[in-house]
Amino acid sequence: MSDALQRVPVFPLPRVVLFPGAVLPLHVFEPRYREMVRDAMAGRGEIAMALPKPGWEGQYRGSPPVHSIGCLGSMRNVRPLSGGRFLFDLIGLSRVKFEEWRQLTPYRIARCSSLPEKGTGPLSSRAHEKALQLSVTFQALLQELSGMKGPLQLGSDLSLETTVNRICFALEIDAEDKQRLLAEDDIAVRAERAGEYLDAVVRALGRRRSNAKGPPN
């Protein structure tokens, strides 16, 4: 997506925040969004995900307010299903800001501007260390909680941006907290905040282990 404003179909989905570099499996079954998918496939094959603002309950069938920052995604592996439904993967491309709503029904179309990530140039040794620390901590937590390695593909060959964004997408935290991570322009600051969430999980696991052991004899 260029820096110029672009018309993009918008898919508001409660409790879901997509990040650049992450993969979101979607099952689209509502009639207006089936139409959105067909129209997107006839064009660039791109839609933007948006998180509804708090209080969306009871308004979802209409057009509840959404946060002004979302994530543009590319539709891949599109599978038409019976009844006009679709299964596909949405690959996060870039953060976007919804500048102007050009259509609200049957689905929303917005004019969007791209929001580049700050701090994604040549990485300092500290940034490399932070990316590795986040990756190792997150994979260790997944193994601790599920007994197996998680689905994330994290490695030394990935950029700090991709590593941080995939972890942010996979974090089991409130959607509003994820939205705040997405809205953060500086990838290094986003990494620090993601690390704080991971540290909180580590501390909680430590307390759980201590309580399970019980008081000393």
Summarised one tens digit per residue, pLDDT across range 31-71 is 999 999 999 999 999 999 999 998 766 655 667 899 999 99
Beta-carbon contacts of residue 188 (< 8 Å; ≥ 6 apart): 119, 127, 130, 160
Distance, CA of 150 to CA of 144 (rounded, Å): 10
Check residue 158 and give its pLDDT: 63
pLDDT of 150: 47
- Residues in Cβ contact with 83 at an 8 Å cutoff, skipping those fewer than 6 apart: 29
pLDDT of residue 120: 60
Q: What is the pLDDT of residue 160?
A: 76
User: How many C-beta neighbours within 10 Å does residue 156 have?
Assistant: 9
Positions in the chain whose pLDDT score sits under 50: 148-151, 153-154
pLDDT at 146: 57
Which pair of tokens denotes residue 132? Answer: 């590795």
The per-residue pLDDT for 63 is 78
Walk me through the domains of the chain, giving residue ranges and CATH numbers. Answer: 6-115 (2.30.130.40), 125-213 (1.20.58)
Per-residue exposure over 110-144, b if at least 16 CB sit within 10 Å of its own CB, e if not: bbbbbbebebbeebeeebeebbeebbebbeebbee
pTM, entire model: 0.82
